[in-house]
Structure 1
Amino acid sequence: MTEHYFHLKANWPGNRNDIGSIHALNLQTKISIPEEMDGPGVGTNPDEMLLGAATTCYIITLAAMLERSKIEKVSLVVESSAVVDVTDGIFTYKKIIHRPTLVIVNEKDFKMATRLLLKAEDTCMISKALKGNVEIELEPTLLVGV
């Protein structure tokens, strides 16, 4: 068994509406509560970071699957949205919607590419970690062209 460790240090100098910071090997930024939740909206926040983790995991997983399947692509872009429900002052991260747009070179790969667009979501480790807690939807677009 091989384990990988990732480290992050967070600093929060004050109360709810202050501005903190996070530092990891390749990520350094300010953090605060978003304006939508009556915070200062400086830097990033947990909601964006969870969305970013889910989106980057999906797109990297899909790219790896396409490569292993020898499907040549022209482009791959994913736009994602998160839905946070607020009921009685309680915030719940409800849903992530991925909207991948994949343009492939060969028509013959269309069926396999369609399968991989869906399979990548089930294979991504972040999606697996969220399963049962956060709904993840896919609205894929697959095109053939150069």
Structure 2
Amino acid sequence: MDALYTAVATANGREGRTVSSDKQIDLPLAHPPALGGNGQGTNPEQLFAAGFAACFASALGLVGRQEKVDTKDVSVTAEVTIGKDDSDGGFGLKVVLRVELPDALQGEIGSKLVEGAHQVCPYSKATRGNIPVELIAE
């Protein structure tokens, strides 16, 4: 792979901080209340959801430009769930991507854009075959 950009961040656990090398991210980390924490910080699942949603929205824009379709009013919400992995007793993730499409992109054209974005999005590529990802166009 010909590298175009490398993001660097350091974290010291779920009850600490995460800081990017350029200091654009400097956040406290905490377990969410659902996992027994105080919720006084972000968590890896929220950060992953934010990254996946942003990347997928960008991929949708790329596919839209290729198809000559305006995607400026499209938004993507990622729901990242952590739970017990029955196969090994550890933890696993699953993702639901909710793509909100304007009326003009409902139906076949919207579905084509969403599927196209899922093929080119680096997060989609990284998760494909590793965790369940559900696409919902609404």
Normalised-by-shorter TM-score class: 0.7 to 0.9
| Letter aligned with residue 10 of structure 1 | A
> Does 2:17 correspond to 1:20?
yes
The DSSP-based 3-state class of the residue aligned with 1:78 is: strand
* Aligned pairs, number: 134
2:37 maps to 39
Question: Does structure 1 conserve the Cα–Cα contact (< 8 Å) formed by 2:60 and 2:117?
Answer: yes
> Does 2:121 correspond to 1:138?
no
Question: Does structure 2 conserve the Cα–Cα contact (< 8 Å) formed by 1:51 and 1:82?
Answer: yes
> Does 2:91 correspond to 1:91?
yes
* CA offset digits 1:25-59 (Å, max 9, x no partner): 33221112222111232221111112222211111
* Distance in 1 of aligned mates of 2:38 and 2:97: 27
Q: TM-score of the superposition, structure 1-length normalised?
A: 0.75
Q: What is the percentage of aligned positions where both structures have the same residue?
A: 23
- 1:69 is aligned, of 67, 82, 87, to 67
Greater shift, 77-86 or 39-48, is seen at 77-86
2:7 maps to 6
Q: TM-score of the superposition, structure 2-length normalised?
A: 0.79
The DSSP-based 3-state class of the residue aligned with 2:102 is: strand
Distance 1:116 1:90, change over 3 A: same
Larger radius of gyration: 1
Distance 1:106 1:5, change over 3 A: closer
Structure ranking higher in strand proportion: 1
The DSSP-based 3-state class of the residue aligned with 1:71 is: coil
Unaligned runs of 5+ in 1: 142-146
